[in-house]
Amino acid sequence: MNRPKPRFLPPASSEASRRTTGLPLRLSLAASLGAALVFGGALPLATDARAAGSTAALGLGGSARLISEGPLEQGAYLAGIELALETGWHTYWRFPGDAGIPPLFDFSGSTNLRAAEVLYPVPEREDDGYSVSAVYHGGITLPLRVVPVNPAQPVELRIQATYGVCKDICVPRDDVLELALAPDERADKVSSLLIRRDLAGVPKPIPAEEAEGAYRLDLSEDGKSLLIGLTREGDTDVLDLFVEGPEGSFNRLPERITAPSGLAAAWSLPLRGLAKTDDGGTRLRLVLSTADGGLESLHVLEAGDLSRAP
């Protein structure tokens, strides 16, 4: 039976939607991890059980905050954007699919910041009977690599986080998250567990010399879709495929189909909504989900490859 179609609510900032009922799922998980460390003798006090970080921005569906693994290492900090959601809620991958709100993170208010890279673990497919989206259920900690301008000085992170959370209703969230990262910061074992747990889910890049041979991309006879076939030998543990087009794309997620002879797996990607590059072609970033993690590759299609497309 299909679930009721989600309703969208107007944006609500963390200040306007602040509330105190219940602990979000992943905050409870952080406490549990910390408690495990305490009983294992890794931490001296029960007060250290909860991962240190910024003040949580509370709102409908859950909370958001920044956490950090600790001091500067090899010129960068490893931090995380923790989106802790209540039971039954989900948030969206960087490319939502049919419907959803893509996460946007504005770092312009930060100081002593040279670069910041948000990393996205492999998402899950969510089909609510009306649309198919790429999501994270129960929340996620998005790993964040932070490079300072002056390594000897702290980085004052200030992020304007815009993202969506959904259950029976969909809520655009707009939170301000702030955290100071100091080069002599004490290591935080609980935050490290949370960050590295989801860092392990970030897809590994396929080297350029292997990416071309990893997939077969063919235009359908009617020119309305693209057959994406996995050619890698031994990839029988494939779970799913997610596709991100150029900026401005609003295409659907690919649908798995029966693989033609010679292919390990295959999907059909509708071309409708897929943005084109200036030369009339397009770029596809493929994220393959497997039982062992994820693999990511970039594929360039020239205008001639889409010649039958309407």
What pTM was computed for the model?
0.82
What are the residue ranges spanned by the domains of the chain?
A: 7-199, 204-306
pLDDT score of 302 more than 90: no
Instruction: Classify domain 204-306 at the CATH topology level.
Output: Immunoglobulin-like (2.60.40)
Mean pLDDT within 42-52? 41
Tell me the C-alpha distance between 109 and 80, whole Å: 17
Tell me the C-alpha distance between 165 and 167, whole Å: 7
pLDDT score of 53 more than 90: no
Exposed, middle or buried, 215 (CB in 10 Å: 0-12/13-18/19+)?
Answer: buried
Work out the pLDDT band at 129, boundaries 50, 70, 90: confident
Helix (H, G, I), strand (E, B) or coil at 92: strand
Exposed, middle or buried, 198 (CB in 10 Å: 0-12/13-18/19+)?
Answer: buried
Are 7-199 and 204-306 the same fold in CATH?
yes
Mean pLDDT within 292-305? 88
> Is 7-199 CATH 2.60.40.1250?
yes
Tell me the C-alpha distance between 45 and 43, whole Å: 6
